[in-house]
Amino acid sequence: MELYELNLHFLLEGLKAKKFSASEIFQSCKRRIDECEGNIHAFITRTDDKEPQTENADGILAGIPTVLKDNLCTKGIRTTAASKILGNWRPPYDATAWKYLREAGAVLMGKVNMDEFAMGNTCGNSAFGPTYNPNDITRVPGGSSGGSAAAVSAGYVPFALGSDTGGSIRQPASFCGVQGLKPTYGMVSRYGLISYGSSLDQIGPFARTVRDLQIIMSVIAKHDPMDSSCFREKNPDFSHKDKVSIKGKRVALVKEFQDFTLDAPIADAMTRTRKILEDEGAIIVEVSLPVVARYAVACYYALAMSEAHTNLERYDGVRYGYTVTDASGVKEMFERVRSYGFGSEVKSRIIAGTCLTEPSRCDEYYVAATKVRTLIAQEFTRAFGETDFILQPVTPSLPSKIGEVDDDEMKGYETDLYTLPVNLAGLPGLSFFTGYAGNLPVGLQLIGPRWSDPELLNAGLILEAHLGTPKIANGGKN
């Protein structure tokens, strides 16, 4: 077995026992990237041209390679958010989540592809071209954190960081066949994350096992005074426990989602997972989320586009990023910079956000959406008064073909409805691997109440013990 095939906790155990060195891990991962990157196109910027010296040989992640979604700032290393408008911008500071990983000894192999400014669900809305699913390169890896999920799935690195604004960790984790955690809003510092929707964005990890997610969360889930939304209590306990139980826990299915059509492999996975939970002593119940079912999608887009409109105003070609020097005036410069620099999807969301927040419409749309968001959060709070976790799909279908347009508008609505409410309510959501349908992985989602991230991962350990862990994807090789 090659070292790149080992999961994070096995690599750490091997390093501790001196079965192999950090240099051997680095070289194995680098060879794997060289072997498969021509097919997958996960990277925007590679930083593995020179083997680094591990900064902290005693750190928990000493010598372990990783990659970052390219909306996480890295001091002195190009950071683009997959957009032309940032050009070759090199931040003067590190994102806090990356700083914590670096201080723990992690080695950065590069910055990976995403939908531009995290706006999309295919990893195809990028100024640098699409990323391909390493399990089947004719299919999308999901988005917007598709490069991070693809890199872990293909064996480039044992773990990666992404961000989730409306499903951008959970959906690509499901599509690529890895484990992915969208933490509680405020569990991981957002400092240094290039914003899309500031009240919705959350940084989180991808890995091939739930135990590995626990290791990464133990490093990055710490209070950061640079982020006022970050929790201030004692650091949560993400330590691995050999014996965990879900006996007596109440796991809910959402009443309003039961009539939605699922692809057969996803429906089968729901049935199998429900039986596993019952066999482990969990009690399956039903909860009703009528406000979520009726209003969540409209509420989300009103808020996300309004926040995007505000956050992306800063890209003006004056202070950093792409600019023009031959404009006749400031107005022409702004127009040319933003017209060239932003892709069509980003432009459409900026325009929509501008309309939603202009004075004559603000109360009707943006303010109304903030009130509905409160109702959605309250509805989840009531639901979690009756249950411990909610089980549901991540998406109703398997990953689509590259370039394929789904004409089924209802299926698109259902896809959003499974993921967006978690962000609106600031909840943690675990996308977990359940097996394969042919060569395509199938994932489901377990949701918990706010701040239940450690308990959610413990439940994931139980499911993983029955469902298994994903294999390394073939990376487009025959």
State the DSSP string of 334-386.
HHHHHHHHS-HHHHHHHHHHHHHHSTTTTIIIIIHHHHHHHHHHHHHHHHTTT
Residue ranges of domains in the chain: 3-248+429-467
pLDDT at 411: 59
Strands (E), 223-353: 250-254, 283-287
pLDDT at residue 409 is higher than 60: no
pLDDT at 58: 74
Mean pLDDT across 196-223: 98
3-248+429-467: which CATH number, 3.90.1300.10, 3.40.228.10, 1.10.10.60, 3.30.230.10? 3.90.1300.10
For the segment 160-209, what is each residue's pLDDT rounded down to a tens digit? 999 999 999 999 999 999 999 999 999 999 999 999 999 999 999 999 99
Mean pLDDT across 251-261: 95
Q: Which residues have C-beta within 8 Å of that of residue 315, sequence separation ≥ 6?
A: 85, 86, 321, 337, 338, 341, 342
For the segment 120-152, what is each residue's pLDDT rounded down to a tens digit? 999 999 999 999 999 999 999 999 999 999 999
Mean pLDDT across 199-221: 98
Report which of residues 475 and 232 the model is more confident about: 475
Report which of residues 407 and 34 the model is more confident about: 34
Report which of residues 403 and 2 the model is more confident about: 2
pLDDT at 55: 46
Residues that are catalytic: 69, 144, 168
pLDDT at residue 406 is higher than 80: no
For the segment 224-233, what is each residue's pLDDT rounded down to a tens digit? 999 999 987 7
Q: Token pair 């990976």 is at which residue?
A: 112
pLDDT at 52: 81
Q: Structure pTM?
A: 0.97
